[in-house]
Structure 1
Amino acid sequence: MISSILVVDDEPDLELLIVQKFRTQIRDGTMSFLFARDGVEALAVLAGNQDVDMVLSDINMPRMDGLLLLAKLQERDENLCTVIVSAYSDMVNIRTAMNRGAYDFVTKPIDFADLEATIVKTIHHVEAMREAQRRQAAAEQARASLSRYFSPNLAERLASSADALDLGGARREVASLFTDLTGFTTLVETIDPEVLGPLLNDYIVGMTDIVFAHDGTVAKIIGDALHVLFGAPADQPDHASRAVACSLALDAFARSFQEDWSRKGVALGATRIGAHAGTAVVGNFGGGRFFDYSAYGDTINVAARLQVANKALGTRICVSSSVAEKVPHFCGRPVGNLFLRGRVEPIRAFEPLEAEKCASAETQAYMDAFEELAAGDVRAVASFAALVVRNTEDRLASFHLKRLLNGESSTTINL
């Protein structure tokens, strides 16, 4: 790497002397020199040469002296260092220069061995300063990019680690969560773009804010749909608890959002949420121009299919037993043993509930009816029928009642 040095001095012989003394470095391409006779000319040279690393300046010069040049360089916030060259008799001015930001000084008459050592030291300082600035800029860029996917605290932690998001994957214990706004494709075809833009933006911002509040990672946003991870890229031993708490908060937001837009004359469908916990290969995949933080594996597929299962079940949130079992004092209604597409073993599923609803008499009545269903008790039909009469909006109870009326008599459900 070549170091570019601007020498500012009105002594006519100095240019020849420097070129002679540093001829080896100039020939080897490790140093190059530019020359100016005063501060005015120096500023003009700097304007045309953006790669100057340091300025070597005399103090006493015509038109603009070294002290004024130093002040001008400070104003310009130039990313370079200035070394003052002056006689011992000029020590007061040298002190003034150092107080104004000069990096070092060399006395006249010039000792060229001392000058070379000072130049080398200054160049090393400039390189270190620029590297620190590059790292800071890279960190800021990383934070800006990461903040699209991760909570602010997690983005800060990842941005400070150079290898946190290197290409490649690792097997991790995660909770995977999928959301989908039903009927969105149809809505896109019928709603004005001027309305769709604010609606979708507000929905995505609201949903992602909730994810970030639970320290989740937004792995994908496709239209209105979100794929969220807990337990990656940073370890979260309570990833399942976070997934459930986040699901309930997302559901509350989505229902409120749906009501708000209904009052504006826009009919939105329900937001369906599915979650599953297990191992997945998680990492940053792609190449030099494209990076995609993603997760792969059966855990991800099951979560996506549980989200879809809500449509048949009549639920808004459906989580697997692998999630529920990891949540201390999990609160929810059993759904049944679901045979999902592509799987030979059923998945035990639950509908998580807020604590208040979980403790209600209605939920207890459902639990009793489900126990009757699991035991093959014929009274399950009457129990589920009573639940539906009491609450016609209880679609999960309606789902089980219809199954029973169609001759099914177990908690195993083939979707």
Structure 2
Amino acid sequence: MAKKLKLNGTVVSQSIAWIYDWFGIATINPAAVSDFLDEANGEDVEITINSGGGDVYSGAEIYTSLRDYHGNSTVKVVFAASAASVIAMGGKKVLMSPAGQMMIHNSSTSAWGDRNDMNDTATMLKSVDDSIANAYVNKTGMSREELLGLMDQETWMDAVKAKELGFVDEIMFSESAPQTTNSAAGGQVIPEEVINKIRNEFLSKGGFTSQSPALGDGGPEGIIDLNAKTPSASVNTNKGGAPTGLTAEGLKNQISQMKGENKPMDLNQLKNEHPDLYNQVVQEGVTNERQRITALNELAAAPGAVEIVKNAIEAGQTVAEASFAIVQASIAKKGEVAAARQHDAQNSGVNDVPVQESTTPEAKKAAEEVQAQTEAEEVIAEMKRLRGGK
């Protein structure tokens, strides 16, 4: 009997799979598939796919593992879109449910930078599309141009169409499958900014009561320390009793009232017993992260601030931290300009010209005070500008 594996959920890299586990979101990651194939050790395997896709590189890694497997592999498609469709191409035999769907399209990403960065990103995406098409070419025997055209159009296929084009070998149960089926939404890909925020806030600051996970392992136990010190806040409820506004401290108090105790609660337990509360916490985290990124992007207009803002977004820094870094860079730049001017003056011989000293110590002191005041006002003005005039 063949060993069986179900691949449900979003395709992600192993390094962030634990975050999805923490939120209770099903994932497909290369390490899990590789471990399954290693354990099968050449025996027949049967893999069922129900996924809207996700990370293209992780999908390619899983596809490669399946193609490289030295035993018989059968892939059964319920829903395979985007990166999940690439995974499906890895099976030695591919079957599709008569109610199934498959979708292929071009790769996509987000980018930040000038026109050169955008051109580089476009070149990278074209290369990724070509590599995805390779998997489809090997399975279907269609030409690269035909497949790239289908990807450009974002092509959806039911079981009959997928078999006709060669994406699957057989239709499960019956050869007379209906051509109209219901489709599902794409993978729930957590934005990279949110993942970085979770890493920085919950891992580096000890947000877990259990040992913080190392990236790439199986992930944390999934217990949040609700007893950690957080800013106090109240919980507002609507007429139905559901919370309408919540912070970490408010969450702690609300759960304590519901449970009649003040102990850490497992995330899955919170999700199952109080889904409204769980969903609000997740939504609030996403909203706060979007606001942080928007505020940081507003700082990018400052001279030389683009790279600083980009790094701040990736590192999960606050607006205040990024503003301080921009001001520091501005001051350093002014210092470099002043040093360059001094160097030019030294080479020109201007410094060798005798300078008439102030006639009195009082005049000299007054001049120094004016200069110091001017420099201080410049720094304050820079800070206000970066904070939108505040």
Q: TM-score w.r.t. structure 2 length?
A: 0.22
Higher-RCO chain (CA-CA 8 Å, sequence separation at least 6): 2
More strand by proportion, 1 or 2? 1
Larger Rg belongs to: 1
Q: Scaled by the length of structure 1, what TM-score is found?
A: 0.21
